[in-house]
A and B are shown apart, each in its own frame.
Chain A
Amino acid sequence: MKKVLILGSGPLKIGQAGEFDYSGSQALKALKEEGIKTVLVNANIATIQTSKELADKIYFLPVDPYFITEVIKKEKPDGIFLSFGGQTALNCGLELEKNGTFKKYGVQILGTPAKSIEVTEDRELFAKELGLIEVKVPRGGFARNLNQAMDLAKKIGFPLMIRSGFSLGGLGSTVVENMTDFKKSAEVALKNAPASTLVRGEPQIAVEEYLKHWKEIEYEVVRDKNGFKIAVCNMENFDPLGIHTGESIVVAPSQTLNNYQYQFLRKISLKVIEQLKIVGECNIQFALNPESNDYRVIEVNARLSRSSALASKATGYPLAYIAAKLALGKNITELKNSVTKTTSAFFEPALDYIVLKMPRWDLQKFEGSVSKIGSEMKSVGEVMAIGRSFPEVLQKAVRMLETGQDGLLEAESRKLKAESFLTPHTKRLFAIAQSFSTGGTVDEIYKSTGIDKWFLYQVEEIAKFENELREKKLTKDKKTIKRAKQLGFSDKLLAICFGITEKEVRVLRKNLGILPVVKQIDTLAGEFPSETNYLYLTYHGKESEGQSDKDSKSGKAIILGSGTYRIGSSVEFDWGCVTAAATLREKKFETIIINCNPETVSTDFDNADKLYFEELSLERVEDIYEIEKNAKLVLGFGGQVPNNLALKAHKLGMKILGTSPESIDQAENRKKFSALLDKLKIRQPEWASLESISQTLQFVRHVGFPVLVRPSYVLSGAAMNVAYSNAQLKQYLEEAGEISSDYPVVISKFIINAKEIEIDGVAQNGQLILYAISEHIENAGVHSGDATLVLPPQRLYLETIRQIKSATKKIVKKLNITGPFNIQFMAKDNNVLVIELNLRSSRSFPFVSKVTNINFAKKAMLAMLDEDISGDYETLELDYVAVKAPQFSFNRIKGADPRLRVEMSSTGEVGVFGEDLEEAYLKAMLATGWIWPRKNVFISIGGDENKLEFLESARKLGKLGLNIFATDKTSKFLTENGVKNTRVNKISENAKNSVLDLIRDGVVELAINISDSKVNHKGSKDGFLIRRNCIDYSIPLITNLQSAILLSSSLSSKKITDLQIKSWHEYLVK
């Protein structure tokens, strides 16, 4: 084995996120150690795995059968890894196995054989295979069409669970109670089976008994080629079956299983992987009857998964690394435990702590979404808390989510109706706590939720204690404070309850000797000494570990990570932190990372000298700062979370590297920043912070419509909106609920048809050293995180670039910036306006770094260390064009309107290279899950201007021989202008042969739906239904005019064979 191809998971989406950057990175490390050349295909440019240090060759290309075949032809690898890139890599690999590509080119699938994977992916084969070894699976059957499904439903009886094969994150699985709902859901599920993975040419769904309130337990198991097997970790879901494990709080190890149950499920797990001949890692999910020892195996994932990433972090056992070694044919008994470095990797970690994972949802970012959760995954990120009691980890996790919730009875949760815990939703935990604080009992809550009483007793304990605290029934004595801290309460919450400041609580607490201690994760519960500093803090203990007296030469630095992934902050910030850590270590700094996100590479314990798997709260950062002594904080790479701490940490006397916290405050504070721009004579859109409706109307009369409305207090739903009329403005203000001096609304002039431009840069002592300018494809009005970026810019005037540079230099100088920064500009007719400044590494840092081949994060870190980073950096004159495009996960968020808006809603991104913009754009679109349209497209354009602007593009599409379908007005317009098209009925016309039929029958391969934002911010009902159905029936959809135009011109100028198969390296070499 000399060269191995590794498939990445592509852009982050709901159900497939950062965990695959972690697993791919570990696999690359493992291969490198064996001296094997690695070729990685992954279009996700923000990942750590797509770094030169990890892979020998990187292709920023879509992971799909076409491109992978091309890469195989070119690279001629000996073997391929399919288990490290999530469902995307697995599906792609399976198809290439089926169509004989691997055989043809002599590529060996390493690790678990394809046949085993197929068995785990096809529910029918799966049930059969497990039947052979007498392992129970849920009662049920398989249906290939609606009639079969309904027959099954009648046979098994309700409630039922519908699942579709190849279900990434449980997509298309639903619990239904009656035939009407059943029909609806079955139809969608049948439709959702991706065309590439049909079973014998037909979609397949499973209709199963719904095991109401059974416990959900998972095992992570490992097997080598000899059949040596271990169960590395087991986990228990807080929620019973029916809630996707990605949507549930999960603890490790299991808490409510006795030895017998733990061991018999373990035994079955090992039996299953033996039967499936897994080589590597595998996840097995069980349902366990809480009233007996009856069980079902509900799912087997024959690949690295979100759960395996969690298990790795929970135990310290590097599952992906070990799985890679085993796939290469190593015996597990010859590998070493990576934490102790002396004992065997063939062992099962003994935890002497409890770990709790909690999901983070961002449903409020999606217009029209509901907060109900179930068997499909909707969460966008997660946190993991480590501690020594359940209340401690539960409360840590609640804070780690950064939703503003502190404690279980926050004001917001007081508003939750007591009975609202009956149905599962994103705030059910708080509704349950609320119920306890008002006299609810464990028995009644258990009855309605099925959450094991073990968990409920402890939630009750926390809630009751918090209630006593809040009602001031407790005094601030040692006993109370100690108990509060052991129950996981923050100083901040205690401060509110005691009516003193957080600082006073801290002083009082320290005087009373109530301090957290540092404990080490060593995989063996203390039985053997450990070489690594994988640490957490707890109030259940007396003695700290992991502290050495040896001082490193250069000093100590603490990097703050980005915490949970959420919309607007994900793997790109982890890349920054990992890069910063590597840079610090290169410079011989003792490097410490604080982060709490189990999906990250930064929380691999070998990226820093010390890893604190901890909260990024001010309290915890100060704890660690005090424990570590003489360290300096690095806040510039973890995104907004660490940035928000800058001023507070500074005021507490903590030392911070880079740009001064006062400058950061000047950038973050809207008023201060605005004043600064005025002073520097840099233009900005007119804006005001207003405290009443009348003030608002007056301001809008002055600047004129449209305006961008940003209320500071939002009850629910979208926060930001563009208003084109008085009526719209009034509507938004009403939705905001309250406007006052406490909750002002920020209104700014919205400029139509303006371009958006970003500059990412590194400065040192007020000098601009390095920068990259990217332009957006979409006009202003689309959030920069949802926009498509082009680097180097292709359509900017030189004058615009000159103005941008000049404004940037002024700002850099004035704020005396040292380190990373990002400025967003708007440009119209050579007028450049500043929208925003971020005095930190930005979302686009990895993109610009990899495109320009200059590591901006590394330079920024060096700048902060006062190293000389001056040089001649070329970022404008490149021989290629790179495009960064967003990945959306609207299919996960039922009911959400998939339009691009000023609020960000994308969950991931790709970054690809091309000879020109068109090539790069097409690659980018394909990498985000697009299908190249060959026959039929649907077009519906709102607004006359939009129609006119799109006309030329429609012509191009027609010339390609595509059949164009269009609704009423669009059809008329196209016909009048000589573009041949077929008129289809609108949905509201209630006729047959409507656009809905086109979508549902899969006739169209692309839908372009541009709405006229001036008419109604919610769009017409028809527009919404078209968009939503496109998402639900997996039809590629474009909702932005500029994107649609670029796509049309790209399609008309390229064939798929024009898209070049070139590695990153090949682009960079001149």
Chain B
Amino acid sequence: MLTHSPKADKLTKIWAEIYEPGEQFEYLNTSSIHPGGGFFLKNMAKLNAKHQARLILKDGTEYEGESFGADINSSGEVVFNTGMAGYPESLTDPSYFGQILVLTYPIIGNYGVPPREFFESRKIWVKGLIVQNYIDKPSHFESLKTLGAWLKEEGIPAISGIDTRALTLKLRYHGVMLGEIRSTKHETRNKSKIENSNGQKSFELQNPKFGFNLFDPNSENVLTFVSRKTVEVYGEGKKTIVLIDCGDKENIIRSFVKRKVKVIVVPWDLNPLKDPPAGGFDGVMVSNGPGDPKLAKETIKNIKELLNKNVPTFGICLGSQLLALASGADTYKLKFGHRGQNQPVLDVLNNELKLSTNKALITSQNHGFAVNTKTLKPGWVEWFKNLNDGTNEGIRHKHKPFMSIQFHPEASPGPVDADYLFDEFLNYL
């Protein structure tokens, strides 16, 4: 079972104050409660009301549109993704925790919301969704409901009618930015406070009642919010891997299970060497996840131990950064990250290593941090490189069974070309 954090319960009360007395609330799954989040409350009476909403960036830029999600305010890091299909997968990707997602494809909602097996985790993780045009009449044989209805159910605000291209260009130019989604309703409630602040436009002043600043998912270790709290076991097979859940996408699990590998998913801070699962394990997979890798100190420490013990280890995305940090290399924040399904990477590993032949792949990506290849320690080499901007897309150890990639071999959403990398890792076991 999932547990509530005391911090979250306190915030629930703060949020409850925002609503008028007498308004009806419904508590949603509180496992996601976090500062800046407002999605644990659901006002049933307002589910279908259409109204204006705004996205306000930290620099004061405002974008006005129409709300098609939950009727609440929310803040986070505003990022854009250039994929053209796959919103259910993206929305349920825990790596988006704490982020407001801007989709550059201008027509969203076309095929509604599919059944649970298309999701990458149990719930929507984004703090908000920004689109140009929202389609409320989807068409697909697998659609169960509209995107808007789903967002409302999960308490996620969403705005349509935003010039998403202009917003994207701004983010590209200035880098990702913190921002807030505000519905007109709540704005009215806060208006007096804004006026009282002598026209000062700082967010802190505009949100005095929230008691916190714009939520920045990179300011603290956020894995605690996205990781499972208990151990879970999937699949059957001769080989077993431990999957360290830093906010894993379920397709990583599916990718191993379909290869007849047993997957033991453990919380982000569990040390598999100290606390090994019954029956032992053959290798470790460090999952994708949100936030600044350097803040996941616990996990880095555990990986270090794994590396010292020569345990075959595979990192994906955040997992790759954690592996790099554990190996002694450094990571840094990208200006606006890579989020899309069309990122070209080249396998640049020397042929002399005979580990793989040079390959070029189109990959699915979702990351804001990268490994600095200049800081790689002896024995480690760059494995994949981004063909557009030359940033690192994976590292590998020359002699030991350690490999990591910045992109997503599990895809979902996005191209599945990198799927073979799971096999390559399993060769180590």
- Interface residues in chain A, defined as those with a beta carbon under 8 Å from any beta carbon in chain B: 226, 228, 230-231, 253-260, 262-263, 266-267, 270, 290-292, 332-333, 342-344, 346-354, 388-390, 452-454, 457, 517, 519, 524-529, 540-543, 545
Known: A344-B388, A525-B340, A527-B340. A353 touches B106 (CB 8 A): yes
By CB atoms of chain A within 10 A, which of B89, B104, B106 has the most? B106
**In the assembled complex, how far is the CB of residue A22 from the closest CB belonging to chain B, in whole angstroms?**
24
* Assembly CA distance A259 to B341 (angstroms): 11
Known: A257-B111, A290-B141, A348-B342. A332 touches B165 (CB 8 A): no
Among the listed B82, B142, B166, which residue makes an inter-chain contact with A350, where contact means beta carbons less than 8 Å apart?
B82
Closest 6 CB pairs of A and B: A259-B86, A344-B387, A454-B139, A350-B82, A543-B166, A525-B82
Question: Is B301 on the interface with A (CB-CB < 8 A)?
Answer: no
The answer on a CB contact under 8 Å between B342 and A452 is no
The answer on a CB contact under 8 Å between B107 and A541 is no
The answer on a CB contact under 8 Å between A541 and B163 is yes
B83 contacts which chain A residues (CB < 8 A)? 350
Among the listed B84, B105, B110, B416, which residue makes an inter-chain contact with A256, where contact means beta carbons less than 8 Å apart?
B110
Among the listed A350, A388, A543, which residue makes an inter-chain contact with B342, where contact means beta carbons less than 8 Å apart?
A350
Question: Is B235 on the interface with A (CB-CB < 8 A)?
Answer: no
Number of A-B contacts (CB under 8 A): 161
The answer on a CB contact under 8 Å between B85 and A347 is no
Among the listed A256, A333, A517, A519, which residue makes an inter-chain contact with B140, where contact means beta carbons less than 8 Å apart?
A256
A267 contacts which chain B residues (CB < 8 A)? 415-416
The answer on a CB contact under 8 Å between B139 and A457 is yes
**In the assembled complex, how far is the CB of residue A391 from the closest CB belonging to chain B, in whole angstroms?**
10
* Assembly CA distance A351 to B341 (angstroms): 11
* Residue ID in chain B nearest A228 by CB atoms: B360
Question: Is B132 on the interface with A (CB-CB < 8 A)?
Answer: yes
Question: Is B305 on the interface with A (CB-CB < 8 A)?
Answer: no
* Assembly CA distance A543 to B118 (angstroms): 35
* Residue ID in chain B nearest A292 by CB atoms: B141
Residues facing A in B102-116 (CB within 8 A) are 104-107, 110-111, 114
* Residue ID in chain A nearest B114 by CB atoms: A258
The answer on a CB contact under 8 Å between B133 and A255 is no
* Residue ID in chain B nearest A352 by CB atoms: B104
* Residue ID in chain B nearest A460 by CB atoms: B137
Known: A348-B362, A454-B138, A526-B168. A540 touches B343 (CB 8 A): no
The answer on a CB contact under 8 Å between A258 and B107 is no
B359 contacts which chain A residues (CB < 8 A)? 228
A254 contacts which chain B residues (CB < 8 A)? 85
The answer on a CB contact under 8 Å between A256 and B111 is yes
B85 contacts which chain A residues (CB < 8 A)? 253-254, 257-259, 262
Known: A258-B85, A263-B416. A454 touches B340 (CB 8 A): no
Residues facing A in B53-86 (CB within 8 A) are 63, 80, 82-86
* Assembly CA distance A979 to B80 (angstroms): 81
**In the assembled complex, how far is the CB of residue B253 from the closest CB belonging to chain A, in whole angstroms?**
17
Question: Is B37 on the interface with A (CB-CB < 8 A)?
Answer: no
Task: Report 7 cross-chain contacts, Cβ distance below 8 Å, ordered by A residue.
Answer: A256-B140, A259-B413, A267-B416, A346-B360, A388-B132, A453-B137, A525-B82
A453 contacts which chain B residues (CB < 8 A)? 137, 139
**In the assembled complex, how far is the CB of residue B121 from the closest CB belonging to chain A, in whole angstroms?**
15
* Assembly CA distance A194 to B71 (angstroms): 65
The answer on a CB contact under 8 Å between B344 and A540 is no
The answer on a CB contact under 8 Å between A258 and B118 is yes
The answer on a CB contact under 8 Å between A457 and B388 is no
Among the listed B88, B169, B387, which residue makes an inter-chain contact with A333, where contact means beta carbons less than 8 Å apart?
B387
Known: A259-B412, A524-B342, A525-B168. A253 touches B84 (CB 8 A): yes
B82 contacts which chain A residues (CB < 8 A)? 350, 352, 524-527
Question: Is B172 on the interface with A (CB-CB < 8 A)?
Answer: yes
A542 contacts which chain B residues (CB < 8 A)? 63, 163, 166
The answer on a CB contact under 8 Å between A352 and B168 is yes
Question: Is B295 on the interface with A (CB-CB < 8 A)?
Answer: no
Number of interface residues of B (CB under 8 A): 53
A346 contacts which chain B residues (CB < 8 A)? 344, 346, 360, 362, 387
A349 contacts which chain B residues (CB < 8 A)? 342
The answer on a CB contact under 8 Å between B137 and A352 is no
The answer on a CB contact under 8 Å between B346 and A333 is yes
B104 contacts which chain A residues (CB < 8 A)? 350, 352, 525-526
Question: Is B411 on the interface with A (CB-CB < 8 A)?
Answer: yes
The answer on a CB contact under 8 Å between B118 and A541 is no
The answer on a CB contact under 8 Å between A540 and B141 is no
Known: A333-B360, A352-B105, A352-B164. A526 touches B172 (CB 8 A): yes
B400-428 CB contact bits vs A (8 Å, 1 = yes)? 00000000000111111100000000000
By CB atoms of chain B within 10 A, which of A226, A270, A352, A519 has the most? A352
The answer on a CB contact under 8 Å between B412 and A526 is no
B134-168 CB contact bits vs A (8 Å, 1 = yes)? 01011111100000000000000000000111101
The answer on a CB contact under 8 Å between A454 and B110 is yes
* Assembly CA distance A353 to B82 (angstroms): 11
By CB atoms of chain A within 10 A, which of B107, B415, B417 has the most? B107
B164 contacts which chain A residues (CB < 8 A)? 352
B342 contacts which chain A residues (CB < 8 A)? 347-350, 524
Given contacts A526-B80, A540-B133, 15 further A-B contacts (CB under 8 A): A256-B110, A259-B118, A262-B86, A291-B141, A333-B344, A343-B387, A347-B342, A354-B106, A389-B133, A454-B135, A454-B137, A525-B105, A527-B340, A528-B172, A542-B166
* Residue ID in chain A nearest B358 by CB atoms: A226
The answer on a CB contact under 8 Å between A350 and B84 is yes
* Assembly CA distance A406 to B79 (angstroms): 40
* Residue ID in chain A nearest B136 by CB atoms: A457
* Assembly CA distance A390 to B137 (angstroms): 13
* Assembly CA distance A292 to B142 (angstroms): 9
The answer on a CB contact under 8 Å between B114 and A541 is no
**In the assembled complex, how far is the CB of residue A746 from the closest CB belonging to chain B, in whole angstroms?**
47
The answer on a CB contact under 8 Å between A351 and B89 is no
B139 contacts which chain A residues (CB < 8 A)? 256, 452-454, 457
* Residue ID in chain A nearest B141 by CB atoms: A291
The answer on a CB contact under 8 Å between B137 and A457 is yes
B411 contacts which chain A residues (CB < 8 A)? 263
The answer on a CB contact under 8 Å between A258 and B360 is no
* Assembly CA distance A524 to B343 (angstroms): 10
* Residue ID in chain B nearest A347 by CB atoms: B344
* Residue ID in chain B nearest A387 by CB atoms: B106
The answer on a CB contact under 8 Å between B166 and A255 is no
The answer on a CB contact under 8 Å between B362 and A230 is yes
The answer on a CB contact under 8 Å between B412 and A347 is no
The answer on a CB contact under 8 Å between A540 and B84 is no
* Assembly CA distance A545 to B167 (angstroms): 12
* Residue ID in chain B nearest A253 by CB atoms: B84
* Assembly CA distance A343 to B362 (angstroms): 14
* Residue ID in chain B nearest A453 by CB atoms: B139
The answer on a CB contact under 8 Å between B387 and A540 is no
**In the assembled complex, how far is the CB of residue B168 from the closest CB belonging to chain A, in whole angstroms?**
4
The answer on a CB contact under 8 Å between A350 and B341 is yes
* Assembly CA distance A266 to B86 (angstroms): 14
A541 contacts which chain B residues (CB < 8 A)? 132, 163, 165-166
* Assembly CA distance A332 to B137 (angstroms): 40
B41-61 CB contact bits vs A (8 Å, 1 = yes)? 000000000000000000000
A266 contacts which chain B residues (CB < 8 A)? 415
A354 contacts which chain B residues (CB < 8 A)? 106-107
B360 contacts which chain A residues (CB < 8 A)? 226, 228, 332-333, 346
By CB atoms of chain A within 10 A, which of B105, B341, B360 has the most? B360
* Assembly CA distance A333 to B359 (angstroms): 10
A351 contacts which chain B residues (CB < 8 A)? 84, 105
B106 contacts which chain A residues (CB < 8 A)? 352-354, 388-389, 540
* Residue ID in chain A nearest B340 by CB atoms: A350
* Residue ID in chain A nearest B166 by CB atoms: A543
* Assembly CA distance A525 to B166 (angstroms): 11
The answer on a CB contact under 8 Å between B346 and A260 is no
B172 contacts which chain A residues (CB < 8 A)? 526-529
* Residue ID in chain A nearest B162 by CB atoms: A542
**In the assembled complex, how far is the CB of residue A61 from the closest CB belonging to chain B, in whole angstroms?**
40
